[in-house]
Amino acid sequence: MSENIYITEERIEGADDGPLSGTTVAVKDNISTEGVRTTCGSKMLEEYVPPYDATVVSRLKEAGATIVGKANMDEFGMGTTNETSHFGSVDNPAAPGRVPGGSSGGSAAAVAAGEADVALGSDTGGSVRCPAAFCGVVGIKPTYGLVSRYGLVAYANSLEQIGPFGETVEDAAQLLDVIAGDDERDATTRELPLEEGETYADAATGDVDGLQIGVPTELLDGADEGVVETFWDAIAELEDRGAEYHEVSLPSVEHAVEAYYVIAMSEASSNLARFDGVRYGHSADAEGNWNETFARTREEGFGDEVKRRILLGTYALSAGYHDKYYKKAQDARAWVKRDFDEALSDADVLASPTMPVPPFELGESLDDPLQMYLADANTVPVNLADLPAISVPAGETDGLPVGLQLVGPAFGERRLIRAASALA
């Protein structure tokens, strides 16, 4: 067993029967579980026990699944390596001595290590797809609004979605069938875009005959040479099965990482203001006025990466800088969305390496946050565009896992699942 996969290993039994009866599930520790600690990987919530279940957890229970633990994660979902967790880093079962990816690293590691059949994570800028790629498993980032966010501790509301992990595409799709759908407690959700009798799992046929694949050249620029070679090997395998590819351009992705971090950090600054040491969570033992207690609580309760993002987000939203940074980032987001829509008008799916590099060594990027941010270059544009994506194992480079990312049109999960199942 890989170390530190779970923060809490308390089992939660589901209904006696259902489509997931006998299935074990790891749940990322930013998803609320009634009566069971939900820490978000932070000292701030180290002892927090929610009084309610997230919608996805209620649906898991109703489907008969057994939740075997709350999976480790980067603190409040902020990180690409799973090393910002207050509870320690997770070792990668597929590449010992390497990071499992973040922020849902514990969830991916649980599946890769055989500690759970499937798992749930959350994806704000690649936090399902990155660990799926690094751990050699399948991860799906659904279209924004397909899965309820009720009970997900908020990091960046306009970007994040809960998504499934599985050893195979079909496994992940079966979990998506359970958690997807309209929820009256989340106004951003929509009814399932499925015909009567259709499911996501039954789309995992592996039939890619005639599939048109667009390859954005910008998402190959600067990628590790071994990663690129493995990516093209996977494309060749899809071609052998009847797919065709052509190159496309997404000029806006040059600005996607900058736009993403301005938007995400700004939303995080607002969302994390609720942790004041008064209502719930860590409270510093400080003498003096409320302001001193508030400051001490946040100094003790948050880790360095969370503090960094709160500071930058607060700055971007401050008077005199809102239009200079946040408004421009939103304009760039609209540009990214237009580019994806145009590229998908001539292609069924878009393909790229999920991550431009293989898994980092443990500790390699901790002192270089910019390196960590830039590693998200291929994943964050998808969140800005509110589109679905999937990461599947493409092969290895120097013995390290490499993921293939497929991106589809809004609510085109069945198309992605059909294409991805040709490889996994």
Q: Which of 115, 209, 125 is nearest to 165 (CA)?
A: 115
- Tell me whether residue 127 is one of the annotated catalytic residues: yes
Contact status, residue 82 vs residue 136, Cβ threshold 8 Å: no
Q: Can 141 be counted among the known catalytic residues? A: no
Query: For residues 250 and 218, is the Cβ–Cβ distance under 8 A?
Result: yes
b or e along 146-158 (b: 16 or more beta carbons within 10 Å of the residue's beta carbon)?
bbbbbbbbbbbeb
Per DSSP, the three-state class of 323 is helix
What is the phi/psi pair of residue 56, to 5°?
A: -65, -35
70 is known as an active-site residue:
no
List, edge to edge, every strand of the sheet that includes 138-141: 6-8, 66-71, 24-28, 118-123, 161-166, 138-141, 389-397, 400-407, 349-353, 212-216, 244-248
Whether a cis peptide bond, with omega within 30° of 0, leads into 345 is no
Of 2, 85, 89, 127, which is the active-site residue?
127
| 247 φψ region: left (φ > 0), alpha (ψ -120 to 50), beta (else) | beta
Ramachandran region of residue 195, left (φ > 0), alpha (ψ -120 to 50) or beta?
beta
List the catalytic residue out of 42, 58, 89, 103. 103
Strands annotated E in 132-238: 138-141, 161-166, 212-216
Query: What residues contact residue 221 under an 8 Å CB cut-off, 6+ apart?
Result: none
Euclidean distance between CA atoms 224 and 245, whole angstroms: 21
Token pair listed for 392:
């599947």
Q: Which residues have CB under 8 Å from 14's CB, separation 6+?
A: 20, 21, 60, 61, 62, 63, 64, 65, 66, 67
**Active site residue ranges:** 28, 103, 127
